[in-house]
Structure 1
Amino acid sequence: MQESKIIDAKVIVTCPGRNFVTLKIATSDGIYGVGDGTLNGRELAVSAYLQEHVIPCLLGRDPDRIEDTWQYLYRGAYWRRGPVTMAAIAAVDMALWDIKAKRANMPLYQLLGGRCREHVTVYSHTNGHDIPELLDSVAKHIELGYKAIRVQCAIPGVPDAYGVPHGDKPYEPADSGIPREEVWSTPKYLNFAPKMIEAVRTKFGPDLPLLHDAHHRLTPIEAAALGKSLEDFRLFWLEDATPAEDQQAFRLIRQHTTTPLAVGEVFNSIFDCQQLISERLIDYIRASLTHAGGITHMRRIASFADLYSVRTGCHGPTDVSPICMGAALHFDLSVPNFGIQEHMPHSAQTDEVFPHAYTFNNGYMHPGERSGHGVDIDEKLAARFPHKRMYLPIARLEDGTLHNW
């Protein structure tokens, strides 16, 4: 049989409410695959990297050599890692796995070793402009079937709390124009957060898994104090307690609290979490397939984490496309040390642009049985939604000092 070759690859940038970057790769035997390269606020940088540097190197290559192609794009570029490079590599990697599974005529999870569970437990986001509104949001999501809930709430005296929408629209931090500036107060947050979690626990009991995101805004000792103050409420995890560029900072947090820790949504490679995992400084690794080099590299991270009883909790926001969600669900179904999957439902408009096989039912998701990763892109519909320049916000303290958003 004649060897298949990559004969075409193109980048599709579309904005059905928010921007997404899709790479579509076609082969000489008539199969195509799609991958997600979305990087919130820097989409065109990834698009340019793919078009100017990656696609010319793909043409003529064997699409079946996924690991070799990954190494070629990573080691061969010399300038390694970073969010733009790794998102571009992820887009290629997802598309090639999609092609390989389509050629095998089986769902991707079968090629990854088959399923380790029947379905994927997911958690959703709840929020409120005050505690009563948050409690209502939690109740509504329980009615929808979610068995694990992330809780965020507006903080008295703080104009802009992370995870809380402006007005009554679903939370979406990216905005048009230049980056929006938000005001933050760590002391007010540390005073309020335990009261918020206590209110949720009091109303919904001890058995509901609760998650909370500090969003990199605390120093290590502040994070340690927060974790200690939340121990009685038995969080499923405290997410992104402090910026993790300094992996040793998590040693200090561990010394003071047994609250489970999760981190990694801004990580790009296994080296970003090597110490965190090997020293058991975290309990969940949250890197996403799109931002950490695709399925190939996330499998490497998960296998390494499994040695140290660290479980996965992949980032799954609306600022990665349904292609990433579909691929993540195949990954989640297949890895032995899966923990939980984040689920922020995309808009109806986005779902139309990206038809998919994955489903949600009673707190669980499943990637479906369609060959490949089960997600496609409607190019004609995508063309109706041109790119819009958007930025994530920045945060300043009350005295004007720039802070971690």
Structure 2
Amino acid sequence: MKIERLQTLVTCPGRNFVTVKITTDQGVHGLGDATLNGRELAVVAYLEEHVFPCLVGKDPRNIEDIWQYLYRGAYWRRGPVTMTAIAAIDMALWDILGKLAGMPVWRLLGGKSRAGVMVYGHANGRDHAEAVEAVQQHLEQGYKAIRVQSGVPGMDKVYGVGKTRGFYEPAQKGLPPEEDWDTALYLRHTPELFRKVREAVGPDVHLLHDAHHRLTPIEAAQLCKSLEPWRLFWVEDATPAENQEAFRLIRQHSTTPLAVGEIFNSIWDCKDLIQNQLVDYIRSTIVHAGGITHLRRIADFAALHQVRTGFHGATDLSPVTMAAAVNFGLWVPNFGIQELMPHNALTDEVFPHAYRFEDGHLVMDEVPGLGVDIDETLAAKYPYERAYLPVARLRDGTLWNW
């Protein structure tokens, strides 16, 4: 069996997605997600100019060798473009292998460790009252875990909060919008938000919060300590993790669990954080961290140090990645939680899939491969549209972490 054809399929059913389709000489095809939010076409060029020509004629069942070939063989390793491209190929090969075996990928990985994958939804509001109401709506929908973000008095725009009630999509058409940020206002506001939410919903709901890399290490420590009375499931991205030692300072001041890693590309980005037990959940994604093959190594390494998975699952990942994440989450022994920002109805039409939401969990039946496909005819009706995430500045104009 040989790889005969490789394609990139770019579509924008509300936001941009890049999909890799690999077809074998026996007519079996597999899909992989190659979406890198705001840099989508860079990955397309990397794949079409530098990866696809090297893979024609290779045996698609040799997943490990192909992964090593693309990582070690390129010499220039890591980085989001490279690792997203590798991830897309890897996902597609696992999809093919599952179809050849007549088994879902979760079974190829070793079978189910759980009946379903617990997910957390996003509740946000322009003020505290709206945020509390959004949390209650998520509980009515069946969520057991909920991330809470709220507007901050005195700031026009806050991460995680849309301009209207409900759905939040950060990527915007055109050039990057700029937003103001004020750390002092945020630090004064956030503990009060969670006091009100906890009083409204009681002690049994898992509550999460995303600081989105906005804080210095000592500011992050202050936030985590101030949130301790409200017993959060985690605080995510409390401070930028390029300096992994920064999380040691947070640990010294607070017992609030920490999650990080959605922008990590390899095991080397999180090695010190995990082996020194400076975080509790690793959030690396299948699409940006080298695919199932590499993320399995990260998860196994994390398990040795009692760190659990908590993968990124925003709408900048296509249903192909979400299908892969559900397969992975059903198997991985040290599963913690899975983020879920539901895609719009049109995206679900373009990418028909086998996973579904039930009672706060994503579940999947015994479907060969990843359990996801693409309607190429429908996808072609929605061409690429340039879109970017925002850029943040402090009120004095200093560029900050968005």
Q: Does TM, scored on the shorter chain, surpass 0.5?
A: yes
Partner-residue secondary structure (3-state), 1:340: strand
1:333 aligns with 2:330: yes
CA distance in 2, matches of 1:401, 1:159: 17
1:57-206 aligned within 5 A: 57-168=54-165, 170-206=167-203
Match of 1:275 in 2: 272
CA distance in 1, matches of 2:111, 2:272: 30
Q: Which AA in structure 2 matches 1:338?
A: F
Q: Deviations over 1:124-174 (max 9, x none)?
A: 000000111111111111000000000000000011100001234621111
Q: Which AA in structure 2 matches 1:176?
A: K
Unaligned runs of 5+ in 2: none
CA distance in 1, matches of 2:79, 2:44: 15
Partner-residue secondary structure (3-state), 2:75: coil
Q: Which AA in structure 1 matches 2:244?
A: Q
Among candidates 270, 289, 296, match of residue 286 of structure 2 = 289
Match of 1:41 in 2: 38
CA distance in 2, matches of 1:275, 1:168: 40
Give the deviation of 1:366 after TM superposition. Answer: 1.2
CA contact (8 A) 2:22 2:92 kept: yes
1:256 aligns with 2:260: no
CA distance in 2, matches of 1:122, 1:367: 14
Q: Percent identity?
A: 65
1:353 aligns with 2:338: no
Among candidates 14, 19, 42, match of residue 17 of structure 1 = 14
Among candidates 48, 55, 67, match of residue 51 of structure 1 = 48
Match of 2:360 in 1: 363
Q: Which AA in structure 2 matches 1:126?
A: A
CA distance in 2, matches of 1:319, 1:119: 23
Cα 1:241–1:73 shift into 2, 3 Å: same
Q: Which AA in structure 1 matches 2:395?
A: E
CA contact (8 A) 2:125 2:165 kept: no
Partner-residue secondary structure (3-state), 2:393: strand
CA contact (8 A) 2:124 2:166 kept: no
CA distance in 1, matches of 2:328, 2:365: 12
Match of 1:208 in 2: 205
1:290-329 aligned within 5 A: 290-329=287-326
CA distance in 1, matches of 2:163, 2:177: 12
CA distance in 1, matches of 2:386, 2:339: 26
Partner-residue secondary structure (3-state), 1:212: strand
Give the deviation of 1:29 after TM superposition. Answer: 1.4
Give the deviation of 1:367 after TM superposition. Answer: 2.8
CA distance in 1, matches of 2:218, 2:65: 43
CA distance in 1, matches of 2:143, 2:175: 36
CA contact (8 A) 1:45 1:84 kept: yes
Give the deviation of 1:15 after TM superposition. Answer: 0.2
TM-score where L is the length of structure 2 = 0.99
Q: Which AA in structure 2 matches 1:387?
A: Y
Q: Which AA in structure 1 matches 2:266?
A: S
CA distance in 1, matches of 2:397, 2:189: 22
Q: Deviations over 1:169-218 (max 9, x none)?
A: 62111112211000000000000000001110011111111000000000
Match of 2:341 in 1: 344
Partner-residue secondary structure (3-state), 1:339: strand
CA distance in 2, matches of 1:115, 1:335: 8
1:7 aligns with 2:4: yes
CA distance in 2, matches of 1:369, 1:377: 19
Aligned length: 402
Give the deviation of 1:30 after TM superposition. Answer: 1.4
1:230 aligns with 2:227: yes
Q: Which AA in structure 2 matches 1:386?
A: P
Unaligned runs of 5+ in 1: none
CA contact (8 A) 1:214 1:240 kept: yes
CA contact (8 A) 1:224 1:256 kept: yes
Cα 1:361–1:169 shift into 2, 3 Å: closer
Q: Which AA in structure 1 matches 2:190?
A: A
TM-score where L is the length of structure 1 = 0.99
CA distance in 2, matches of 1:169, 1:308: 37
Partner-residue secondary structure (3-state), 2:336: coil
**More deviation, 363-372/176-185:** 363-372
CA distance in 1, matches of 2:48, 2:385: 19
Let me know the Cα RMSD of the aligned residues: 0.6
Partner-residue secondary structure (3-state), 2:43: helix
CA contact (8 A) 2:116 2:363 kept: yes
Give the deviation of 1:329 after TM superposition. Answer: 0.4
Q: Which AA in structure 1 matches 2:206?
A: P
CA distance in 1, matches of 2:167, 2:114: 31
CA contact (8 A) 1:16 1:382 kept: yes
Q: Which AA in structure 2 matches 1:259?
A: T
CA contact (8 A) 1:359 1:368 kept: no
Q: Which AA in structure 2 matches 1:100?
A: L
Match of 1:247 in 2: 244
Partner-residue secondary structure (3-state), 2:107: helix
Q: Deviations over 1:70-125 (max 9, x none)?
A: 01000011110000000000000000000000000011100000000111100000
Match of 2:371 in 1: 374
